[in-house]
Amino acid sequence: MINIEQARREYTLAKNALNAIAHSDDATAAQRDDARAARDELTLDYINTMALEGDALTQQYQDFITKMTAVVDQLSSGNTVASGLLAVQGVVDRANKLLG
């Protein structure tokens, strides 16, 4: 995973540099517009990068689900005394049919 604090710092520094032009009286209107557009693109890149990092975590969630499903299956399928008695009864009933 990327270092979010560092990514944020780099984004802020780059944005501030563009804003220095975007709000400068020394820049022409066209230069200010170009700087604003570049700043918006920078922000969209930042959003996209963070959203993709979230997507990468989705596979890890899936791995967790797979492991937990195995645990739940194990919990649900174990033998109990009652299920053991029922199993023996089943054997006796089948034997009774064969012998009767």
Partner 1 sequence: MMKPNEGGISHGGTAVRVRWQRVCVLMWSALLMACTSVPVKEFASYREAVDKARAAAEVVLTDYSAALAEQRVLMAARKPEQPKRPGAFDPMTAGGDGANLDYVAVRYQAWAIIGKYNDALASLAEGRSAADVGGAVDGLVNSLSQSPLAEAKEFATALAPFLGPLKVLLAEADKEASRQRFLAGLKTGLPLIKDDLIALLRKDSQLMAEVRFGLNDLQYERSLDRVNDAKRRFDVLSSNYASTEEVRQMQAEIAAALAKLPRDSTGKAAPVRSPAKSGNQEAVTAAVLAELESQRTQTLNEIAGAMRINDTLVAYYGVLGAYVKLLNKMAGSTGQLLQAAETGQKFVLPSDELLKAVIALRQSYMTYADKK
Q: How far apart are CA 57 and CA 68, in angstroms?
A: 17
Query: Which single residue is written with the structure tokens 């270092």?
Result: 3
Chain length of the chain: 100
| Residue 90 CB, nearest approach to partner 1 (Å) | 9
The interface mask with partner 1, positions 21-60, x = CB under 8 A, is -xxxx----------x--xxx-xx-xxx-xx-xxxxxxxx
Per DSSP, helices labelled H in 23-80 are: 29-77
| Residue 20 CB, nearest approach to partner 1 (Å) | 7
- Cβ neighbors of 31 (< 8 A, separation 6 or more) are 21, 24
Question: Where along the sequence are the contacts to partner 1 (CB under 8 A)?
Answer: 1, 4, 7-9, 12-13, 15-16, 19-20, 22-25, 36, 39-41, 43-44, 46-48, 50-51, 53-65, 67-69, 71-72, 74-76, 78, 80-82, 85-86, 88-89, 92-93, 95-96, 99-100
